[in-house]
Amino acid sequence: SAVISQKPSRDICQRGTSLTIQCQVDSQVTMMFWYRQQPGQSLTLIATANQGSEATYESGFVIDKFPISRPNLTFSTLTVSNLSPEDSSIYLCSVDGGVAFFGQGTRLTVV
Amino acid sequence: DQQVKQNSPSLSVQEGRISILNCDYTNSMFDYFLWYKKYPAEGPTFLISISSIKDKNEDGRFTVFLNKSAKHLSLHIVPSQPGDSAVYFCAASEGSGGGADGLTFGKGTHLIIQP
């Protein structure tokens, strides 16, 4: 199983600002995935990040709001832009290892 | 429309007894099912899975049962221990195994083991 480290673990941000979440994996992986869990809701896939190409976004998620970088095979960032209270969620990084493995998550609160 | 449903937001069970967590799905194309366990301030961790060609999979204290005709699966924990207190997510995929790009999750059930 992969070891996935996410930073920050939590943050409180002002409306209109942005937060960048970092995800580091202890081994090289082709694809990395970003999920969101809104309060009381299920985990929802935001996008898939491949190294060297633009991320692929799921329906309802757009690049302007959730820009993603994937500079190498062990690292990715997710930025949540122009924050509003509705963005208050847990954001999770994930990789494939037969089944999905997750980082510890980033709890974002927008005030 | 929620394709994976966990209708019990919480469940309280006495230590030593059996815990049964339920999950229903609507998409008949789902062919692989997983259970994840999540502690506060941690990410979900994989617990057990089952392919649609089976109706039961067992791993130690954990057993998952699949009833395809009813589109229902359940996770049994016997005996329940205090460390089992966590949120349990049911997940399903269609043609991608348990891969992270094809999972549909339920909202989770908070299991509380009472001493």
pLDDT digits (tens, 9 = 90+) for A7-25: 999 999 999 999 999 999 9
Task: Check pLDDT > 90 for residue B114.
Answer: yes
User: Distance (Å, rounded) from C-alpha A14 to C-alpha B115?
Assistant: 42
Is the CB of residue A102 less than 8 Å away from at least one CB of chain B? Answer: yes
Contacts of A100 in chain B (CB under 8 A): 34, 46, 91, 98-100, 103
CB A94 within 8 A of CB A33: yes
What is the rounded average pLDDT for all residues in chain B?
95
CB A98 within 8 A of CB A111: no
- Average pLDDT (A45-61) is 92
Confidence of residue B46 (pLDDT cuts 50, 70, 90): very high
3-state secondary structure (DSSP) of residue A44: strand
CB B109 within 8 A of CB B73: no
- What lies within 8 Å, CB to CB, of A59 at 6+ separation is none
- Average pLDDT (A30-54) is 92
- Contact yes or no for A48 and B89 at CB 8 A: no
% of chain A residues with pLDDT over 90? 88
- Contact yes or no for A102 and B41 at CB 8 A: no
Confidence of residue B62 (pLDDT cuts 50, 70, 90): very high
Between residues B97 and A49, the one the model is more confident about: A49
Q: What DSSP designation does A58 have?
A: P
Task: Check pLDDT > 80 for residue B98.
Answer: no
Q: What DSSP designation does A42 have?
A: -
pLDDT score, position B113: 98
Is the CB of residue A105 less than 8 Å away from at least one CB of chain B? Answer: yes
Task: Check pLDDT > 90 for residue B56.
Answer: yes
Write the single-letter amino acid at B58. E
- Contact yes or no for B106 and A98 at CB 8 A: no
Confidence of residue A98 (pLDDT cuts 50, 70, 90): confident
pLDDT score, position B33: 96
- Average pLDDT (A60-68) is 97
